[in-house]
Each structure stands twice: as structure tokens, then as C-alpha cells.
Structure 1
Amino acid sequence: MKILITGSTGLIGKQLLDHLKGHELVLLTRNIEKAQFSLAHLALPHVDFISDLSTLSDLNDIDTVINLAGEPIADKKWTRKQKKIISDSRCKLTEQLAQLCLASTTPPRCFISGSAIGYYGDNGQKDIDEETKIVSADFAHQVCQQWENKALQAQSKNTRVCILRTGVVLSPLGGALKKMLLPYKFGLGGPVGNGKQYLSWIHIDDMVYGILHLMTQEESQGIYNLTAPHPVSNRLFSQTLAKTLKRPHFLFTPNIIIKGILGEASVLLTDSQRVRPKRLVHEGFKFRYSRIESALKQLLS
């Protein structure tokens, strides 16, 4: 199978590539030399790098597109400039890919594209699944909605589109967990605010196997929540992380401090999203780590 992948040097992309070595890979990256160095340890046997989609007129020879690219959403304050960078890095590239699919006489059979549970906004203690309808002016929702709409343009009788509404991906190699480890190891970890807000998470292995499931299941299409079946409160997550590291757990970070540091982006830590992966479970996907205790134990062992 020939697979075009964007975002291959990211946290999810690197892990995914390790499972796709038997396929012919085309990796879109802004800096080919840097990407080759970053991925050298994988020793990929069948790979080509491209830096610009404008070199392609169609995707006739591509079987599957996996679109994971996007500016990190939590690394900087959401200034007007940064919001545009976040939005453009997702929507413009996704629209280009969708248009290339539509321009193809034999388009890819599968188009898998990223999104995030930021789509759902703050829903308190309410259970959320893929059927939950949201209308919101919040930035995270608006970006996810536009991003998804661009990807869905690729859908046709020949191309099925799968949207990944991804939760907090847990891996010691990057993302939120890596950033948390240092303060927790020094006994400085704790919940944000009152800790009652829900955190919808997913182990990096389940994230990758979830993508592989959608890639190989010919009936899969539409919106999917890529989150573990059992979301936890911020307080429980914090307690479990401290316990797993065998460190004390008595501090907390007031919301006002988080807002002062992150500005509008603080909603990524203070919003409550109790998200369930209803469609994946219905399709028979088996999570390897459905509980936070076993997930953190494996990741930090």
C-alpha cells in the first residue's frame, strides 16, 4: 500500500511510522533534511520525502492519506497572529489534500484527518460522544469545525473520510505528559483549579492502533473520538500520576495563574470534556489501556 502522511515527525506520526514499515511511504515535511535526521532511527525501507504539495497534480497513485500536520496548539499564547498560524497550518493543508483527492481519477480509498476534542468545548460533567451536537464561538471549536469541513470535502463514492477527534495523547516522549513529569518528579505536581474538570486521554499505543484500525476497516468513515473509554477528573489524573511516580500530592495550581500564563489557551487545562469513544467501541476496537492507572504504569515503568 502507498501511504501519504503529513505530520510524520510529530509525536503520533513517529510512532505510527514504526508500524507502517512494510508499506511504501510518502512523507510531506517542510524540512526534508531535518525530517530524515529525526526519523533515521526507524530505518524506513520504502520512503520518499516531499516538501510541497504543489509538485503533485493528483493523488492517483496514493492508496491512503493520513493527515496529522498542524502547529502545536498549547505551546504559545493564542495571540491573533498565533491563532492564524494554528488555523492555517491545519485548514489550508487539509484543503489542498482534499482538492488533490477530488482531482484524481483513482483517488485514495481512505483519507484519515486529524481534529481534536477541543471541538466539544466545556461540557462540565456531561458525557459526550460523536453524536453530541455543539455550536460555539470558542476558538478551539471553530478551528476543529473548519478543519473537519475541509477534510470532509475529500469524501466521495471512492474515498471514505475518517476524522480523528483526539484527546490528550499520553507518551513520555512528548506532549502533555512529558511536560508534567519534571514538576511531578520534584513533588510539585497537583490538579489545576478544583480538579473537577474531566480529562479525556489516550495512550499513545491506542492512538496508533486506532488509526490502523480505521485505515484497514473498509466500513469505517465519519467522526471518531480517539480517547480512552474511561475519562478521569483532573484531580484523579494528578493523584494517579503522583502515585505512579511515588511522589507527594498536595499542591494545586489556581485557575487565575493558569490564565495568567496561557491566556485564552488556558481552556485547554480548565475546560471539562468527558468524551467517550462510542464509535470505535461499537466497531469492536479493543483498547489496550482503558484505565488511567494501567496506562501510566506502563508509560512510566
Structure 2
Amino acid sequence: MTEHVVLAGASGFIGQHLAAAYRARGARVSTVGRSGSDASWGDTAGITALLEGADVLVNLAGKSVDCRYGPENRAEILRSRVETTRELAEAVLACTAPPAVWFNSSTATIYRHAEDRPMTESTGQIGTGFSVDVATAWEREFFAPDLPATRRVALRMAIVLGDGSALVPLMGLARAGLGGPQLDGPWPATRARLAAGTHHREGAGGGRQKFSWIHVDDVLGSIEWLREHEEVDGVVNLSSPNPTDNRTMMGIVRRAVGMPVGLPATRWMLELGTAVLRTETELVLKSRWVLPERLVEGGYEFTHPHLDEAVKGVVAERRQRIGGRG
């Protein structure tokens, strides 16, 4: 019988990768989203029909956090995660033969800014601020309903790398000679940003903020491993077992694209640049030090455990796909 995989919020980089991989191995892939999907948000009956008898549900829905955290964007970042998760739960509950397992995207950003030790599922400390509030609300909504026939796993994903990921603009910066470390430092906070929890407080200097990551191939690999290990539920960190720091990461990117030098970006440059680009410095300055304790202890073998190999592979894949320098 053909495997049926339902992907919610599949229009982004990760969702497209998963859909292509499952279809390549002969699975039937259905999608939940906006226009062009097999079922649309707001049509709970249609989503229920799609989920009836499905083997697995993977939910990746949520507005991108690569934006400026003004009131409207903050509200949409939260709504697009919590309300879609709530609607999927209602649909799963209405099924007579619900999916056996539901993987819901979460984020490793839920942990605090960590410079002293890594965050694992068993010892990690939840942080504070807007991004953390979104993540905790998201997971709370996911685990709140009673769904006895469906195992649930929240995927606390680190930064996902691949052709089309956040790595691509970093490659562009490196080629332009701007691929040095992103340097933290003092920056004044407005009352509004303090109240909203969107001000990044000064942390590690010298580009030593930790950088936790995972290759998109290992996102798929982790999901498949978790499907096989039915004893695992709850929260699982999806990150390479070998995190690094920002300075080292940018050096790896420079070498991969063949640029020997890279100018660093100081905090004031980052604040001005992110304001122009309509994004946030937290995305590069927060120290994310995350380890995949449950995957490693369970015996999952990473396809891309080391950053230098992973980045070289992404650069080569992109060059092959679009030609030239990529």
C-alpha cells in the first residue's frame, strides 16, 4: 500500500525538500496550506478528510522570522503557528483513522542565550523574550489536546542548511568580501522593544556566539528515524552533534566560496543593516548552543555531522544547479 505523507506548510525550503524526497521514493504526498494545496487552512473538514488514514503528518507552518519584529509581524508570527497547530489538532481528533505520528516544527531558539554550556532536551533552560514566548506557546498548543491514537513529537530545529536556506545570503556576503564574523556589542534599547522582548542583550564578543545547525538531509533523516522509534515522543532537538561558533562558521563559508578575507560586522553595522533589510540582529547574535541528546543516545547516525563538509556540499550543489559560482 502506498505510503501517505501529509505536509502542512510545505511551501518553504524545508517543506519542498521533504515533499520531493518522499515523492522520489514513491510516497503519496498531500499538502495543507494556502492556494494550490490539497486542503486549505480554515477548511477543517477538508483537512480531516486529507488526514484520514494518513501514515504521518508533518507540520512546518509559520510565518518566516526573517522580518522586523513590529506589532503586526509579531502577531502574525504567533498566529501562524498557534492557530494552524490548533486546527490540525481538531482535524486529527475528528479522524476515525488518524495519523499514527505527528511531527510539529518547533525551534531551538526556545532555549536561553547559552555561552556557558550546551542545551539538551533534559538539561536545557528555556529562555526569555518574544521568540521564546512564541516557541513555548507553539509547543503548548501542540501538546495540549488529548490525541490518544497519535504520537506527537515537537522538532526543536536549529538553523537548517541546504541549497535555498539561510546559508545562501551568507555565501553572497562572503563572495563580496563581507564574510567576517558578526560581532556583538552594546546597543541602546527602546522601551517599546524591551516591552516586546525583541531587544537583543549584549552577549559573547569576538564572534564567539555559538552556532547550532542541521543539514536539511538530516531533518528528513531524523524524522524517518523517529518514525521507526515509536518509543520516542515529546520534544527532540534537531541539530548537528558538532555545533561551532559564528567566527568559525563564517570562516568555513569563506573557504567554501574561495574568498580568503572577510570584513567583520560590528553591532552598530548590524543594527543599521538589519533595520534596512527589515530583519533582526537576534538571528545572528543570539548564542544558540544546542545538542541532539535524544537522537545521539538513540543511535541516529547523521549524514552531515560536520559543518565544513556540509557547507562545501551546499556550495557544490548550488553551483551544479544554477551554474557559475552559485
Q: Please indicate, yes or no, whether the TM-score normalized by the shorter chain is above 0.5.
A: yes
Aligned residue among 64, 72, 83 for 1:72 = 64
Measured in 1, the distance between the counterparts of 2:178 and 2:47 equals: 53
Check conservation: 1:122, 1:271, Cα contact below 8 A: yes
Please say which of residues 52-61 and 214-223 is displaced more in the overlay.
52-61
Structure 1 residues 57 and 112: CA distance shift in structure 2, 3 A: closer
Partner of 1:281: 296
Q: 1:150 offset after TM fit, Å?
A: 1.4
Deviations 1:59-92 (A, max 9, x none): 4333321001111101x11001100111111110
1:155 CA drift (Å)? 5.5
Q: Helix, strand or coil: the match of 1:18?
A: helix
Q: Residue 166 of structure 1 aligns to which amino acid in structure 2? A: M
Check 1:56–1:185 CA distance in 2 against 1; reply closer, same or farther (3 A cut): same
Would the alpha carbon gap of residues 8 and 188 (structure 1) be closer, same or farther in structure 2, given more than 3 Å must change?
same
Question: In structure 1, what is the equivalent of residue 52 of structure 2?
Answer: 60
Matched with 1:99 is 90
User: Which of 10, 29, 37 is equivalent to 1:25?
Assistant: 29
C-alpha distance in structure 2 between counterparts of 1:232 and 1:57, whole Å: 40
Shift of 1:101: 1.8
What whole-Å deviation, never above 9, does each CA across 1:279-299 have from its counterpart, x for those lacking one?
111121110111111111222
| Structure-2 residue corresponding to 1:5 | 7
Note the 1:227-242 alignment, pairs <5 A.
Answer: 227-242=239-254
Would you say 1:163 and 2:154 are equivalent positions? yes
The SS at the match of 1:228 is coil
Q: Decide which of 167, 170, 173 is 1:183's aligned counterpart.
A: 173
Deviates more, 1:60-69 or 1:219-228: 60-69
Change (3 A) 1:133 1:246: closer
1:243 aligned to which of 255, 258, 261: 255
Q: Secondary structure at the match of 2:283?
A: helix
Question: What does the per-residue CA deviation read over 1:173-213, in whole Å, with 9 as the maximum and x for residues that have no partner?
Answer: x2210111212112221110021000001112112211222
1:298 aligns with 2:313: yes
Q: Which residue number in structure 2 is paired with residue 142 of structure 1?
A: 133
Cα distance, 1:274 vs. partner?
1.1
Q: Is the 8 A contact 1:161 1:221 kept in 2?
A: yes
Tell me how far apart the structure 1 counterparts of residues 143 and 8 of structure 2 sit (CA, whole Å).
17
Unaligned runs of 5+ in 1: 36-48
Moved more, 238-247 or 1-10: 1-10
Shift of 1:217: 2.7
Could you say if the C-alpha distance between residues 137 and 125 of structure 1 is closer, same or farther in structure 2, counting changes exceeding 3 Å? closer
SS in 2 for 1:5: strand
Question: 2-side partners of 1:54 and 1:17: how far apart?
Answer: 22
User: Normalising by structure 2, what TM-score?
Assistant: 0.82
RMSD: 1.9
| Residue ranges of structure 2 left out of the alignment (5+ in a row) | 184-205, 317-326
Secondary structure of 2:280's aligned partner: helix
Q: How far apart are the structure 1 equivalents of 2:111 and 2:239?
A: 13
Q: Could you tell me whether the CA contact under 8 Å between 2:45 and 2:91 is conserved in 1?
A: no
Deviation at 1:156, TM superposition (A): 3.5
Alpha-carbon distance, 1:135 to partner:
4.3
1:51 counterpart residue number: 40
Change (3 A) 1:135 1:18: closer
- Name which of 107, 127, 130 aligns with 1:116: 107
Residue type of the partner of 1:20?
A: Y
Query: Which of the residues 201, 212, 219 maps onto 1:200?
Result: 212
Q: Tell me the distance in 1 between the aligned counterparts of 2:156 and 2:146.
A: 17
Q: Is the 8 A contact 1:190 1:239 kept in 2?
A: yes
Superposed displacement of residue 119, structure 1: 0.4
How far 1:133 sits from its partner (Å)? Answer: 4.5
| Aligned residue pair count | 284
The percent identity for this pair of structures is 28
Where in structure 2 are the equivalents of 1:249-260 lying within 5 Å?
Answer: 249-260=261-272
Distance 1:163 1:26 in 2: 20
